[in-house]
Structures are given as C-alpha cells and as structure tokens.
C-alpha cells in the first residue's frame, strides 16, 4: 500500500499487479463444483461479495471515500466491485464504440443487481447477505480533444447524443487528453495528478470533477464506495 499525504487529508493507494492477470478465470472456476441449487446460490453470493466483505473490515470503515478502478469489461472482478459499491462513475471516450457500450453496461448492471437480490431474498435470505442497490453517479468524458478552448465537433456530437439519449446522467466535467500528464503515468507507478507540479488546465479539470462528484455524494449519507 502506497501512502501520500495531501492537503487536509490522506490518500492511500492499493495498486494492481501482473499476478492478477488471470483472476477472472480463477474466480469463474470457483463458481462451479456445486451439486444443488441452494449451494450454487450460496457460492454465487459468497463469491460476488468477496470485495464487499473486505471493505467492511475495520481497516477500511474509517475512509470517507473508496474508489475502485475497474477494467473496461463486465468480468467477475468488475462484478465484485459493483456489488461492493454504492455508486458507479463511468469514464468514457466520446466516440462510437465507447458510447455504444453505455446502454449495455446499464443493462448488465441491472441484471446483476436483480440476480443478486433474487438470490438474497430466496427463502428469506441466503448466508446473511444484504441486498444491493448501486446507482449510476454519471458518465464523465475523458480523453477529450480540445481546440480553441472547445471540445472538437466530432466528439461533441457523441457527448450531445449520450446526454440526450442515455439512461445515465452526463457530468459537466470533461478531462482532456494529455500525453504530458498520462503518457508515462503507468511506468512511474504514481497517479498523474499526484505528479503534477503546476495547476494547469488538466489539473483544474480534475479538481472540477472532484468537486462535482463530491457534491453529488453529499446527497447520500454514510461511507461512499
């Protein structure tokens, strides 16, 4: 766990590593091997709740906010993150393929929540699990191309389309593409915004996003994940 002190608080970072490259397959293998429907439901709930249980541990309950970064797929790791979360924030690129996937994501999340809660409610509950109800906080468009202080017309088209038609609200914040900030962030192992020594336009956009997200979370009480 890496720790970096910031103004008026503390940020802890738990990073991924290559040893988890096959974790989806390993988790999927654990879903099998049961002989009864009841055992299958218990296995499903236990497996999908593994991250939820971990975050309920005493070392995490004192955090004001827990952010879980997921891969751009709907594998088992992503599903465990959704089960553990109260809110879902969707970063998306303003192009055809990224916006096409938004409605599929909404449908897949709804199906997961329905299945999970159906198993919980079956015969008065299974294994002491509680129902889940994660809500979509919104879509934030990233890797945005800026020209003359405006989003390019090609990308603005997709932003407008999602704003008008998607079932997920679109946040006002935009994060522009910046090879200077993000190009070698993975190699350094330090989040781009923690490496920036100046408050340029990209840093200001992240500040705006943080303010917008925290403002939306103020509508809810308790810990946020």
Q: Helix axis angle, 96-121 relative to 37-48, nearest 10°?
A: 130
- Contact criterion met (CB below 8 Å) for 209 and 171: yes
Identify the band that residue 225 occupies on the pLDDT scale cut at 50, 70 and 90. Answer: low
Note the pLDDT tens digit of each residue in 44-61. 999 999 999 999 877 777
Could you tell me if residue 148 is inside a domain?
Answer: yes
What's the total number of domains in the chain? 1
pTM for the structure as a whole? 0.84
The whole-number pLDDT of residue 74 equals 92
Could you tell me if residue 224 is inside a domain?
Answer: no
- Contact criterion met (CB below 8 Å) for 92 and 99: yes
Note the pLDDT tens digit of each residue in 78-130. 999 999 999 999 999 999 988 888 989 999 999 999 999 999 987 555 567 89
Secondary structure (DSSP) of the chain: -EEEEETTEEEEE----GGGTTHHHHHHHHH----SHHHHHHHHHHHHTHHHHHHTSTTTTT-SB------SS-SHHHHHHHHH-SEEEEEEESSHHHHHHHHHHHHHHHHHHHHHHHHHHGGG-STTPPP---EEEEEEEEEE-EETTEE-HHHHHHHHHHHHH-SS-EEEEEEE--HHHHTTHHHHTS-HHHH--S--HHHHHHHHHHHHHHHHHTTS-S-B-
Could you tell me if residue 223 is inside a domain?
Answer: no
Could you tell me if residue 225 is inside a domain?
Answer: no
Range of the domain at 24: 2-217
The whole-number pLDDT of residue 6 equals 46
Could you tell me if residue 156 is inside a domain?
Answer: yes
Could you tell me if residue 7 is inside a domain?
Answer: yes
Q: What is the domain-level CATH number for residue 149?
A: 3.40.50.300
The whole-number pLDDT of residue 27 equals 86
């Amino acid at each position: 766990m890496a720790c970096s002190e910031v103004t008026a608080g503390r940020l802890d970072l738990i990073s991924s590593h290559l040893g988890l490259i096959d974790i989806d397959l390993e988790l999927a293998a654990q879903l099998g091997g049961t002989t009864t429907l009841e055992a299958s439901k218990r296995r499903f709930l236990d497996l999908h709740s593994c991250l939820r249980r971990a975050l309920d541990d005493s070392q995490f309950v004192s955090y004001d906010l827990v952010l879980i970064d997921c891969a751009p797929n709907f594998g088992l790791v992503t599903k465990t993150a959704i089960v553990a979360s109260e809110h879902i924030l969707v970063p998306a690129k303003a192009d055809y393929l990224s916006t096409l996937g938004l409605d599929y994501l909404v449908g897949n999340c709804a199906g997961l929540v329905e299945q999970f809660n159906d198993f919980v409610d079956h015969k008065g509950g299974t294994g002491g699990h509680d129902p889940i109800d994660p809500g979509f906080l919104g879509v934030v468009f990233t890797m945005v191309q800026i020209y003359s202080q405006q989003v390019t017309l090609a990308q603005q088209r997709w932003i407008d389309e999602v704003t008008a038609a998607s079932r997920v609200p679109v946040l006002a914040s935009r994060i522009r593409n910046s090879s200077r900030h993000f190009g070698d962030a993975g190699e350094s192992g330090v989040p781009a915004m923690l490496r920036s020594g100046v408050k340029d336009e990209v840093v200001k956009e992240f500040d705006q996003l943080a303010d917008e997200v925290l403002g939306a979370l103020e509508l809810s009480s308790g810990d946020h994940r």
